[in-house]
Chain A
């Protein structure tokens, strides 16, 4: 077994365990922390794939900002009691299992199908994940989708301000 596979296996294993932990823990703070670990390790997998910018954005945005907000809210509400969080038994878990299995099958198909093909899959250039290349691609080939995404984000920000603003008088 080569080193690459071992490193990937270790990181993927931690990520999977953390992902299971997110749904398995009763304590919301622990679930959130498992999610943090998952995001963090995922970033390392991106690094290993030479996608530096994607990896660091993962840490910066998800681990550093979004999860901090999550924890902040959880602590602010102080959701301590696990009993209050136990879900009622209804059809939702069954639906979740079906959809989850479907998603897993889809992803497995996407991963396994190219592997079974006879010819080698195309390889990305070694420096495809550098900020320079991503920036150039975003602002030339994908300028329109990029700008549309930024407009979407702007709408989100304005919406958040509108929702959060108190009406005076």
Chain B
């Protein structure tokens, strides 16, 4: 079977796609359950915990409401599919499909297991299955496909022939254009540091020694100063790209009903929903690959550890094997952590106002990402010119300079403009608590 697949690369490619896409499709209901349960726990509610409780011979078998998303799915399938009369029919039907495509295509270059590795066991056991395409343009591909995500929303907004939907679509396109820039520049810094656009190479770079000094610990980009900045920017931008809270202005229900999917019902709405969750999952995977060491369980180089502590070599070897053979599970775990982070954000942060959204994207994230990019470039130059510490000194100086420049610019800007009105609540009585509490009993009148 495996040999046959090797001889038929076309079939193998198809199998690779299925190996990536089918688990996502199967997991989406699980994400929805997890989101509802986690949200309800965070908000001190119970959440859906009843569906799927069976009684067999007087014994109750609880499944913690795990079947709730299945029931929801059945409901969505059987609901009446309302198509308003005045919609642009072709685009109206096309939009959900267009929305679903980038969410699944995004993972085309993500390696979920080691790709051609010198590691315990046979080299390249996973290489056949992942990534779907190990191309030279891995991270650019992710950028390109994520930028296509806007089409589904925009088309849905336009085709619905509804003012609120249109507003949602407009908001979405403006938001995506704004946050894509910062995302791209933050990723560019990482690309420069790792020296490759290939996702597999990026993960391998992260397996080198931490800061070039500690061979036992892996150099995950989130542990480096520039990687931390880039990671935070990417994290914010990826939430904005997937239209999730607190950046869910395209579907802000208290302003524009449900935004772009106001006119969608039944399965068409479910497709939008599915696309959103799949995109969240895959973006979590992208973050894990670029910043969190990809498919490695822990940021530890087990081989290096075994070399320096021979007495525990057996344990480290075992851990190395565990790390290698369980790679897809660790990757899945990280994607899952990404989804949990999304849900956590949704439970924590209120939605941004539109001007706040724009100023965060253009005035904070983009300059920060560009500054980070410049600092990384100077660090690489310095390292090349004066090997041991030249890069560090140069990058430090550059970082300080950039921060000073930014502060200076901000001060200049503040001088020229009047700031927007600030909202505050003025208490009628500034110190209500200090008053002695006087209680008037119901029966007595003074």
Contact = CB atoms under 8 A, between A and B. Distances in A.
Contacts of B170: 72, 75-76
A69 B147 CA distance: 12
Nearest to B155: A33
B143 interface: yes
Given A56-B141, A75-B158, A131-B197, A68 B147 contact: yes
Contact of A64 (B137, B148, B155, B166): B148
A35 interface: no
Contacts of A30: 90-91
A33 B137 CA distance: 25
Overall SS of chain A's interface: helix
Q: Which of A29, A64, A76, A130 has the most CB of B within 10 A?
A: A64
Nearest to A57: B140
A69 B166 CA distance: 15
A129 B91 CA distance: 35
Contacts of B253: none
Given A64-B180, A65-B180, A75-B166, A59 B148 contact: yes
Interface string B239-274: 000000000000000000000000000000000000
Given A63-B148, A68-B173, A132 B157 contact: no
Contact of B173 (A33, A63, A71): A71
Overall SS of chain B's interface: helix
Interface string A38-67: 000000000000001100110110011100
Given A29-B91, A130-B136, A131-B197, A72 B144 contact: no
A146 B372 CA distance: 24
A60 B173 contact: no
Contact of B143 (A53, A60, A72, A76): A60
Contacts of B154: 68, 71-72, 75
A36 interface: yes
Q: Which of A59, A68, A69 has the most CB of B within 10 A?
A: A68
B74 interface: no
A53 B151 CA distance: 23
A56 B158 contact: no
Interface in B272-317: none
Interface string B140-168: 11011101101100110110000000100
Contacts of B136: 52-53, 130-132
B169 interface: yes
A131 B91 CA distance: 36
B135 interface: yes
A56 B177 contact: no
B365 interface: no
Interface in A101-146: 130-132
B176 interface: yes
Contact of A75 (B135, B137, B169, B180): B169
Given A72-B170, A76-B170, A53 B148 contact: no
29 contacts: A29-B88, A29-B158, A30-B90, A30-B91, A33-B91, A52-B135, A53-B137, A56-B141, A60-B143, A60-B144, A60-B147, A63-B148, A64-B147, A64-B148, A65-B147, A68-B173, A68-B176, A68-B177, A71-B154, A71-B158, A71-B173, A72-B154, A72-B174, A75-B154, A75-B169, A75-B170, A75-B173, A131-B137, A131-B197
Closest 6 CB pairs of A and B: A64-B147, A59-B144, A60-B144, A72-B173, A130-B136, A56-B140
Given A52-B136, A75-B157, 19 more contacts: A29-B88, A29-B158, A30-B90, A53-B136, A53-B137, A56-B144, A63-B144, A64-B147, A64-B148, A65-B177, A65-B180, A68-B147, A68-B150, A68-B173, A68-B176, A71-B151, A75-B154, A76-B170, A131-B136
